[in-house]
Amino acid sequence: MRDVSIAGVGSTSFGKLPDRGIVELATDACREALADSGIPHERVQALYLGNFVGERLADQGALAPIVARRLGLDGIPATKVEAACASGGIALRHGYLTVTAGIHDVVLVAGVEKMTDIPTGDVTAALATAGDEGLEMRTGLTFPGAFAMVMQAHMARYGTSREQIAAVSVKNHDNGAANPKAQFRKPTTIEEVVSSRFVAEPLRLFDCPPITDGAAAAVVCTAEIASQHTNRGVRILASGQGSGPVALSGMDDLTSFPATVRAASEAFGQARIAPGDVDVAEVHDCFTIAELVATEDLGLLPRGDGGHAAESGETAVNGRLPVNPSGGLIAKGHPVGASGVGQIYDLALQLRGEAANQVDGARIGLAHSMGGCGAAAAVHILAHD
């Protein structure tokens, strides 16, 4: 298997972008990534595109071939992968796999979602397709409802306090405030979080991510090719993917997602490093509580310790283990199919020393992208090249 690098990254701003359609968002991010890489677009041999509900929210399937052609990449294999909100992470994985295995030398990876020009109820219904319709969602359960149950379970099992969970929102909003591509750029306070309106009790508005338009992209290639075109490449040390119960009723423990545990185990094994070696992480905080569960499932923090770590500043940009310095999905925004590639954009900047909220001396970064309430997860470990 060959060494694989990310030669360049690109991202649109995340937010309400009424002037850009789903195709334009994706191509904007791809063009930026290609320019950043220094690799001529003619060298791209395949496109993997993460997108969740383009067929529903943008009336657009067959999106990967459209984007390929719009970039002048006529004819190349262009494939959309879908694993709900992990679509972006799993798209990156397929770029990585096909390059490390010698199938392709240069692959463009992108993620995109266009969500803000649709009524919120329709967006919620579309996102609910990430649950198990036959077993559960037809009851009317939504994702805020599902994660509200996860929050209850974490509070009950580990004594995690409402304020500790709110500290995740405060931290991520603080981080987003400094990120020029973030949707929310205003700090918040514990008081504001815990007094915001209920979405699904005990989960409140400030525990949730916004509805977001956005796209991100990465040029994935052999380390050798990357080094010929840029001195800012970032190595992909490992890639892990796992699946898990899609219905909550299939989970043995609402405070842990087996898909994440499995993907992390695979990735750490491949990279031959331990969770303690990670300098900075971007994890799937689709709700505040999801960040706590992710950091624990990834082994970055002991079980039940996520709340304390957020409250004590351990996961702040200048803490022992910075988590979501980009602002995460909660403040940076959550264009669902793009979010996993957006994490890669932010981590690449961190490892290149160019991030808005730069973590001093960051050499090893971890990205965790999750779909549904633990349906699927992708974990990537990146390193300064």
Eight-class DSSP state of 86: T
Instruction: Based on the residue annotation, tell me whether 173 is a catalytic residue of this protein.
Output: no
- What's the chain's length in residues? 385
User: 66-105 mask for a copy of itself (x: CB under 8 A)?
Assistant: x-xx----xxxxxxxxxxx-----x---x--xx--xxx--
- Stretch 22-51 residues interacting with a copy of itself (CB under 8 A): 23
As measured in angstroms, the least distance from the Cβ of 100 to a copy of itself is 8
Binders of a copy of itself: how many residues, by CB under 8 A? 61
DSSP codes, 136-199: TGGGT--HHHHHHHHHHHHHHHH---HHHHHHHHHHHHHHHHT-TT-S--S---HHHHHHSPEE
Instruction: Based on the residue annotation, tell me whether 41 is a catalytic residue of this protein.
Output: no
Q: SS3 of 279, please?
A: coil
Q: Counting contacts by CB under 8 A, is residue 333 touching a copy of itself?
A: no
Q: Which residue has the tokens 């001093």?
A: 360
Phi first, then psi: what are they for 162, rounded to 5°? Answer: -55, -40
Q: For residue 377, list its beta bridge partners.
A: 242, 370
By beta-carbon proximity to a copy of itself, the closer residue of 60 and 196 is: 60
By beta-carbon proximity to a copy of itself, the closer residue of 167 and 381 is: 381
Which residues touch 384 (CB under 8 Å, ≥6 apart)? 234, 235, 351, 352, 362, 363, 364
Q: How far is the C-alpha of 276 from the C-alpha of 301, rounded, in Å?
A: 9
As measured in angstroms, the least distance from the Cβ of 303 to a copy of itself is 19
Among 13, 27, 172, 241, binds a copy of itself (CB under 8 A): 241
By beta-carbon proximity to a copy of itself, the closer residue of 51 and 357 is: 51
As measured in angstroms, the least distance from the Cβ of 261 to a copy of itself is 9
As measured in angstroms, the least distance from the Cβ of 276 to a copy of itself is 24
Q: How far is the C-alpha of 107 from the C-alpha of 318, rounded, in Å?
A: 34
Rounded alpha-carbon distances, angstroms, from residue 110 to 96, 148, 215: 13, 31, 7
Eight-class DSSP state of 285: -
As measured in angstroms, the least distance from the Cβ of 171 to a copy of itself is 29
Q: SS3 of 70, please?
A: helix
Contact 379, 261 (CB under 8 A): no
Q: Counting contacts by CB under 8 A, is residue 53 touching a copy of itself?
A: yes
By beta-carbon proximity to a copy of itself, the closer residue of 293 and 316 is: 293
Which residues touch 260 (CB under 8 Å, ≥6 apart)? 242, 244, 293, 294, 297, 298, 368, 370, 374, 377, 379
Phi first, then psi: what are they for 215, rounded to 5°? Answer: -150, 155
Among 8, 54, 214, 333, binds a copy of itself (CB under 8 A): 54
Among 10, 210, 214, 242, binds a copy of itself (CB under 8 A): 242
As measured in angstroms, the least distance from the Cβ of 62 to a copy of itself is 4
Of 94, 308, 334, 384, the catalytic one is: 334
Q: SS3 of 20, please?
A: coil
As measured in angstroms, the least distance from the Cβ of 218 to a copy of itself is 18
Q: Counting contacts by CB under 8 A, is residue 140 touching a copy of itself?
A: no
Tokens of 233: 């490449």
Q: Counting contacts by CB under 8 A, is residue 262 touching a copy of itself?
A: yes
By beta-carbon proximity to a copy of itself, the closer residue of 62 and 156 is: 62
Q: Counting contacts by CB under 8 A, is residue 60 touching a copy of itself?
A: yes
User: 113-132 mask for a copy of itself (x: CB under 8 A)?
Assistant: ------------xx-xxxxx
Contact 252, 365 (CB under 8 A): no
By beta-carbon proximity to a copy of itself, the closer residue of 163 and 266 is: 266
Instruction: By CB under 8 A, name the binding residues for a copy of itself.
Output: 1, 21, 23, 52-56, 58-62, 64-66, 68-69, 74-84, 90, 94, 97-98, 101-103, 125-126, 128-134, 137-138, 241-246, 250, 258-259, 262, 371-372, 375-376
Q: Tell me which residues are annotated as active site.
A: 85, 334
